[in-house]
Amino acid sequence: MPDSVRTMVTGGTESPRGGLAMSYPSSAERVVVAARRTPWYRHLYIWVLIAMALGTSVGLLWPTTGKALKPLGDAFVSLLTMTLAPLVLCMVVAGIGAVANLGSVGKVALRSLLYFEVVTSIALGLGLLAVNMIEPGAGLNTEVDSLEVTDKVADGIAAGQDLSWYDYILQIIPSNIIASLADGAILPILFFAILFGISLQLMGERGRDIARGVERLSEALFQVVRIVVWAAPVGVFGAMAFTAGNFGAASLGALAKLIATFYATSLVFVVVVLGGILMLVGLRPWRVLRYFKDEVLLALGASSSEVALPGIVRKLENIGVTKGTAGISVTAGYSFNLDGTCIYLTLTTVFIAQALGIDLSLGQQVILLLVMLLASKGTAGVTGGGFVMLTTSVSATNLIPVAGVMLVFGVDRFMSECRAVVNSLGNAVAGIVVARWQGEIEPDKVHAIMAGHQPGFVLESNKVTKDFDTTALVPDPQPVPSAR
């Protein structure tokens, strides 16, 4: 066989490692394809980068036109998130329903939560360290009375002030799963999906039949995502044009130091903390970053980490992470492992205090950190995202006037783009670490798949038709039955 021909196998196989078994499509096929280097103009991330540059230019040069392009960005985000809730439900149910040992589900959940607590605590501490060292708010001398609270911010402040400690627990339990699916409340959906998946597992063979059907549905939803994602350049163009046109360079002004501090701190977190974690589990940080580059650019352009979730899960499965581990760790991470948001919370809160001339003692900053450790968890059902988390933390401590959040409201959009990137990367790394902890992946094989030297566990149908020439098909191999 010529060197240019390689064999790629679709579907999953039964994992000999124990733990969460790799679920597989019922019609696995072996496809022999002639591998060719994909032209640059057929790489999605190239067009996303071009769209970001064009959108920013249009917004800065023609602000009115940039603002008018906002519907393009909103439509793209809606297209991606419309499948998010059912996709989370299906992939978690299918993953748990296929496990060989139900105890593995508990291990994945506990290990994920342990990882989340450690890493988010580091992120919160890093934000505190950076803002105290650089002091971006020093010298602003802002008076609280000069801050005008807009209606939108007032709603966010009210939402934050109305939350009690038990609300973070109660919001996990859905009162109506259909309503949670309609609202896209990820945390209640995850809670229900875990219970439903465990129920299917307890039903034995009858439950596995249902799990296979749910898996087919998740495959169809992933196909929808693959179709929609090709509209990314248009959506990113509209989102960047609106951001640049609506806020513009003038809005940065005196807050440029805050934004620069936040971006620099986030970069340190990604390189030192996430990079160090990857090296500890035997992986090369730069290769992992290149592997998830499409998802990173989507999150950056759309200013939303949620749009990257389907792609992250799919790519984790491609390197050998089982559906259950990928589904639980990544989905839970979007409520419990928001690393970029954690950096933002501590950094901006102390910045507000500095700008208002409030001197926070070490003890008061520790109290802030502990409050934010709680406020940054389980926020998938909270309306308003990161800004509500900020107002919740500020109002809960009574150390800083809540109206002070208006200082960062004008530049929050610029900071949300960085938050989205760090949140997405943090959850991708979390899925890899938990899978490595579970013994599901080996560094050498992961590197080979990421570099394209070895076929992965998931073969996307559009890659066969678009990027390769199909030369032969061989009969379906019989799937290996799940160990019981």
Task: Quick: pLDDT tens for 326-362.
Answer: 888 998 888 889 899 999 999 999 999 888 888 888 8
pLDDT at residue 460 greater than cutoff 60: no
Burial class (CB within 10 angstroms; exposed 0-12, middle 13-18, buried 19+) of 230: exposed
Q: Give the tens place of pLDDT for each residue, 59-91.
A: 888 988 888 988 988 888 888 888 888 888 888
Residue 150 lies in a domain: yes
List of residues 6+ apart from 61 with CB closer than 8 A: none
Residue 197 lies in a domain: yes
pLDDT at residue 385 greater than cutoff 70: no
Which helix (H) or strand (E) is 451 found in, with range? helix 443-451
- Structural domain including 91 reads 5-474
Residue 393 lies in a domain: yes
Check: CB of residue 187 under 8 Å from CB of residue 380: yes
Cα(108)–Cα(99) distance, integer angstroms: 12
Average pLDDT, integer, range 366-393: 70
Average pLDDT, integer, range 49-54: 88
Computed over every residue of the chain, the mean pLDDT equals 78
Report the share of the chain in percent with pLDDT over 70.
76
- Which residues lie across from 32 on neighbouring strands? 7, 472
Q: How many domains are contained in the chain?
A: 1
The pLDDT score that the predictor gives to residue 431 is 94
Instruction: Answer with the residue of higher pLDDT: 2 or 257.
Output: 257
Residue 481 lies in a domain: no
The pLDDT score that the predictor gives to residue 382 is 41
In CATH, what number is assigned to the domain containing residue 362?
A: 1.10.3860.10
Residue 465 lies in a domain: yes
The pLDDT score that the predictor gives to residue 151 is 62
The pLDDT score that the predictor gives to residue 229 is 84
Residue 484 lies in a domain: no
List of residues 6+ apart from 433 with CB closer than 8 A: 115, 277, 278, 281
Token code pair at residue 351? 């910045």
Q: Indicate whether this model's pTM tops 0.85.
A: no
Bridge-based pairing of strands 5-9 and 30-34 is: antiparallel
The pLDDT score that the predictor gives to residue 162 is 58
Residue 479 lies in a domain: no
Q: Give the tens place of pLDDT for each residue, 198-239.
A: 888 888 888 888 888 988 898 888 888 888 888 888 888 988
Residue 332 lies in a domain: yes
395: left (phi over 0), alpha (psi -120 to 50) or beta: alpha
